[in-house]
A and B are shown apart, each in its own frame.
Chain A
Amino acid sequence: MPTLFSFAFKNIKRKPLRTGILMFAIALLVSALVFSLSFVQRVNGSIKKSSERLGADVLVVPTNARGAAQEVLLENRIKTFYMKRSIINRVLALPGVEKATEQVYLVTIAGICCSVPESMVIAFNQDTDFIIKPWLQEKLKRKLAKGEAVAGAESAFNIRLGLVEMDSMLFGNVFRLVGSLERTGTGLDTAVLIGMDSLPAIIASGKVKNLQPDDISVIFVKVKPGVDPAQVAASVEDNIIEADAMARKDIGKNIITTLKDMSRIFTMTIILAAVMSFFLVWAIFTAIANERSKEVGIMRALGAKERHILRIFLIEVLVIGIAGSVLGIAAGTGLSAIVAKTFSIVKQLSTDLSALERVVIAAMSFAGGTAICVFGALGPIQRLKKMEPLMVIKTE
């Protein structure tokens, strides 16, 4: 016996090209939605997480190296910049500063100085450090000796794959990798870390250009409880002309500002696509309503109630909306994975979307695609269900 479901499914199969076009349009909209939401969420979330995980309230870098420092710490880019080591004492002397620790950034070049692929080598002060330790303690319960290094989580992954040797040549010196960091979601993940006391031998090797023995790259500052990090950052800039400073909330600000502009472009595109999809669904269902008005009249004359007509068409539109949305989610997820590789801002990010974030994005896109489909078809369906059964007889 035909049920309202089987009747609706027969109608869907009746014009496969038209059904396909409608599903394709919804799939396009949903895939664009999935892609843009994934993109924005991933970049935004990654920047925020990374700045939180840095563990410092203020970041002090050489003048004009603010952007480069953020790129290293948040986007895993490979950059070097230096300032004089003496600056750390001037920072420590500023009011509100509880502690500070310095790091030096070096870049390896495979085949020239080093046996590892191009990556950051970070030398850190083991006596004052509060940035690396929290990630290191569980893995290695002692200080790194000269000639020892630990690898960031991503580097460690490469070591396990055999892409990096356990005994690596770094700037003419053999370093033994003795441990690895937990995943931090920051630039540390792709770096190789050494103690500051290994640095003199590297400088002496002459394999690192532009680095002097008293150079450092960044200073991480922890402020005293109750002190506003922004005030300390302003104080650094007022008192130390050779340095720029950023409070934690401002780290990644440039990227987030750029991202907001990109989000606006995505939002506009999605709104336009949604409006177009809405009118496409409306136009197609208006055509369907005109084509099938006689059939609806017959059904109404045979005893179909308005809700039967509504249900038949809603089943049709829901099936199209759901199928289009599911296709769109698959396409959008695939597109995110493929296209993201070509977006340098995403390629460099160390954190990916969590399973929950993916589910939420898929659910939002699904709801959006299905809702556009249903609301687009609602007008023609409402008109159709109100049709007087007499019409069928009068049009015979």
Chain B
Amino acid sequence: MDLIVLENVSRDFRVGHDTIPAVRNATLAVARGTFVSIVGHSGSGKTTLLSLIGGMVTPSSGRVLFDGEDISAWAGDALSEYRCEKVGFMFQSASLLPILTAKENLLLPAAFRPRRPPDGIEQRAEELLRAVGLSDKANAHPSQLSGGQQRRVAIARAFMNMPELILADEPTGDLDEETESEMMQFFQRMNAEHGTTFIMVTHNSDLASRASQRLRMHQGKLAGV
């Protein structure tokens, strides 16, 4: 069974008296363990598409299925639990909480879990920080980290609750070429070793080419490459 299925999904936004279609009749099936890349111009609807899949916005029409369940029919706590347990987000910017240290930022999603966090959660946070090359920055606050380091903390945070799906919105935008390559290798390792499904939005065609399933968005419409 496909992990993600989109059936004729559209999403409009109202701006004043105008209705802007951000996503139009998107249809997609993503098998479990697939690494998907989405390219497209700014404003083409990539972020809205990720938000629809991540349960952060509901479709104006159509259905979004996760593991066979229609998440577009869910609301409130069910969607929060879905975002907490099934999905790991990497936003366009690091989006760390400034009052928490790097390690605490990683642990924050665990505080929202409906069930008691598993034992060894702190060790997992330390391992993830090590994996992104920041083991010595565990107790640093975001203001003490460079933009690239903050970005890597956010990448590590997305894996904290061991999600089945990673939604990454230009996750390597702030990184230098070498670190970008390291992070991509990290993603591919997680994809290969843990079967984590990735849907990654990127402007970088080189990164996009490494994905097993490549898509393009243009004026809200989704198409294969």
Contact = CB atoms under 8 A, between A and B. Distances in A.
Given A305-B77, A393-B51, A7 B83 contact: no
B159 to A, nearest CB: 12
Interface string A285-304: 00000000011001111111
B155 interface: no
Nearest to A295: B97
Interface in A249-306: 294-295, 298-306
A300 B111 CA distance: 12
Nearest to B87: A303
B109 interface: yes
A306 B107 CA distance: 19
A160 interface: no
Q: What size tier do the contact residues of chain B reach? A: 35 or more
A305 B112 contact: yes
A139 to B, nearest CB: 67
Looking at B89, B110, B117, B169, which has the most chain A CB atoms within 10 Å of its CB?
Answer: B89
B80 interface: yes
Given A7-B100, A10-B100, A302-B89, A393 B83 contact: no
A142 interface: no
Contacts of A7: 99-100, 108, 111
A141 interface: no
Contact of B111 (A4, A14, A295): A4
B92 A393 contact: yes
Contacts of B111: 1-4, 7, 308
Contacts of B47: 393-394
Interface stretch (A74-82, A326-334, A342-350, A384-392): A384-392
Interface string B140-157: 000000000000000001
A88 to B, nearest CB: 80
B73 interface: no
B122 interface: yes
Contacts of B80: 300, 303-306
B84 A303 contact: yes
Nearest to B57: A390
B77 to A, nearest CB: 5
Given A2-B111, A302-B108, A302-B112, A390 B51 contact: yes
Contacts of A305: 76-77, 80-81, 112
A350 to B, nearest CB: 55
Given A1-B122, A390-B56, A393-B51, A301 B91 contact: yes
Contacts of B95: 294, 298, 392, 396
Nearest to B98: A295
Looking at A294, A306, A396, which has the most chain B CB atoms within 10 Å of its CB?
Answer: A396
A388 B47 CA distance: 15
Contact of A301 (B56, B99, B100, B110): B56
Nearest to B54: A301
A379 B54 CA distance: 29
A396 B100 contact: no
Contacts of A137: none
A205 interface: no
Nearest to A312: B111
A316 to B, nearest CB: 12
Contacts of A300: 80, 83
A303 B109 contact: yes
A2 B85 CA distance: 18
Interface string B113-124: 100010001100
B89 A2 contact: no
A239 interface: no
A11 interface: yes
B126 interface: no
Nearest to B48: A390
A4 B91 CA distance: 23
Contacts of A388: 56-57
Nearest to A14: B99
A303 B113 contact: yes
B213 interface: no
A392 B96 CA distance: 11
A393 B91 contact: yes
Nearest to A10: B99
A385 to B, nearest CB: 11
Contacts of A298: 91, 95-97
A281 to B, nearest CB: 21
A392 B54 CA distance: 13
The 4 closest A-B pairs by CB, nearest first: A303-B84, A396-B92, A303-B112, A305-B80
Interface of A: 1-4, 7, 10-11, 14, 294-295, 298-306, 308, 388-390, 392-394, 396
11 contacts: A2-B111, A7-B111, A301-B56, A301-B91, A303-B84, A303-B85, A305-B80, A305-B112, A308-B111, A390-B57, A393-B169
Given A2-B100, A305-B77, 13 more contacts: A7-B108, A10-B100, A11-B99, A294-B95, A295-B97, A302-B83, A302-B109, A303-B83, A389-B56, A390-B51, A393-B51, A393-B56, A393-B91
